[in-house]
A and B are shown apart, each in its own frame.
Chain A
Amino acid sequence: MAIYGVAILSLCMFIGIFLGDVLGTFLGVAANVGGVGFAMLLLIVLTDYLMGKDILSKLAESGISFWSAMYIPIVVAMAAQQDVLAAITGGPLAIIAGIVTVLVGFLFVPLISKIGNKTTYKDHAI
């Protein structure tokens, strides 16, 4: 049943957020450290295991894929509730700082990606 997939997804999210909260408290920071990341890893491992054992039905999978397909619309809704007005009226410093940090970040994407890509090329033996 589709709800099984949704329930597995929920379980992964709770365990992940719990781990993130624990890690945050452990490190003494007032934030969830990597909770969503842990949840994602858990979902990958768990669904991989269940599919390997042929336990996860197509319907259960559809419960997860539905939410995955809803992702972009949810992002649109998320964009619609950002404080865009404050960002624009926050003055030139906020705007310039926001733009420059992004541009500097982009400069480094190809540089650091090369570290990961080396292995990729070897694997594909080009």
Chain B
Amino acid sequence: MDFGKIILDIFVKNGLVMSFLFIGLVTYLAYLISDKLTNKRIHGSAIAIVFGLMLAYWGGIQTAGHKGLADIKLFTGVGLMGGGMLRDFAIVSTAFGARLEEIKKCGTAGAMSLLLGVILSYIVGVVLAFAFGYTDTVSLTTIGAGSVTFIVGPVTGAALNASSPVIAISIAAGVVKSIVVMIITPIMAKSIGLNNPQSAMVYGGLMGTTSGTAAGLAAVDPKLVPYGAMTATFYTGLGCLLCPSVLFLATKAIFG
């Protein structure tokens, strides 16, 4: 009898349940390290997320796929657990207990941060693309859009008929952005006053990447997650709206 195969088959067949066990172990290890090695200075959830990213990198090397660890047969359940459906479900649930008064207080600042967040990211992307030798408006716009989020990039690129490598760069820029947000947020939180619902909403509006802001805020203070996620969820939509239209035309007016 091949016990290894029997056990492996059980894990593969029950992928989602397997992912609960696996993520549970990863989280336990992360909190243990946070507790013993950093004296809780680095939050356990931040370490767990970095572990997740490292596992994703490892999975990418093993399979040459695009879904990180989830491309490995044993860990396909991780793809379901961390996929769009349960992610959105869990994000919505965090709103339970959030206070409507806090959200109302931030109306103008939240809206402003959204608009500014999209436009700033776009400008940074375009300027850097230009510095790297891209001169045609379509490529500049697509890479600028990718700096908004990794969804806005390909949506804009497809609308403008950008080339495939340029679209790939735009996606990569967006992915890097969301990962950087996850890692840097807990480190920067104190110095930018990220400790109340208002600043969390502004932060969500400026960063925009829902996965990045939600994970970053979770590592700072889970109570702030719903406020940041609330504005961030409008960001991608706003980016898809502005990039292929107004921002494309503005870029065209400047670069010809």
Residue B176 contacts which of A20, A32, A98 (CB distance < 8 angstroms)?
A98
Residue A126 is within 8 A (CB to CB) of chain B in the complex: no
In the assembled complex, the Cα of A25 lies from the Cα of B240 at a distance in Å of 12
Question: Per-residue 0/1 for B163-176: is the Cβ within 8 Å of any A Cβ (1 yes, 0 no)?
Answer: 00000110111111
Question: Does A97 lie within 8 Å of B23, measured CB to CB?
Answer: no
List the B side residues contacting A47 at CB < 8 Å. 96
List the B side residues contacting A74 at CB < 8 Å. 81-82, 86-87, 90
A80 → B minimal CB distance (Å): 4
Taking CB atoms and an 8 Å cut-off, the chain B residues in 88-110 that contact chain A are 88-100, 103, 105-106, 108-110
**Nearest opposing residue in chain B for A9, CB measure:** B93
A12, A34, A47, A81: most-surrounded residue (chain B CB, <10 A):
A81
Question: Per-residue 0/1 for B212-227: is the Cβ within 8 Å of any A Cβ (1 yes, 0 no)?
Answer: 0011001000100110
Taking CB atoms and an 8 Å cut-off, the chain B residues in 49-69 that contact chain A are 49-57, 59-61, 66-69
Question: Does A65 lie within 8 Å of B96, measured CB to CB?
Answer: yes
Question: Does A32 lie within 8 Å of B237, measured CB to CB?
Answer: yes
List the B side residues contacting A73 at CB < 8 Å. 20, 23-24, 27, 81
Residue A79 contacts which of B56, B169, B172, B236 (CB distance < 8 angstroms)?
B56
Chain A residues with a Cβ closer than 8 Å to the other chain, count: 78
A23 → B minimal CB distance (Å): 7
Question: Does B175 lie within 8 Å of A110, measured CB to CB?
Answer: no
A contact residues vs B (CB 8 Å cutoff): 9-10, 12-13, 16-17, 20, 23-24, 27, 29-37, 39-41, 43-45, 47-48, 61, 64-65, 67-68, 70-88, 90-102, 104-106, 108-110, 112-113, 115-117, 119-120, 123
Question: What 20 additional pairs, Cβ within 8 angstroms, besides A79-B49, A117-B198?
Answer: A34-B233, A36-B210, A40-B226, A47-B96, A61-B96, A74-B87, A75-B90, A75-B214, A76-B26, A78-B52, A78-B87, A82-B56, A82-B179, A84-B175, A86-B175, A88-B57, A92-B132, A97-B129, A97-B177, A116-B110
B contact residues vs A (CB 8 Å cutoff): 19-20, 23-24, 26-27, 45, 48-57, 59-61, 66-70, 75, 78-79, 81-83, 86-100, 103, 105-106, 108-110, 112-113, 116-117, 120-121, 124-125, 128-129, 132, 143, 146-147, 151, 155, 168-169, 171-182, 184, 188, 192-194, 196, 198-199, 201-203, 205-207, 210-211, 214-215, 218, 222, 225-226, 229-231, 233-234, 236-238, 240-241
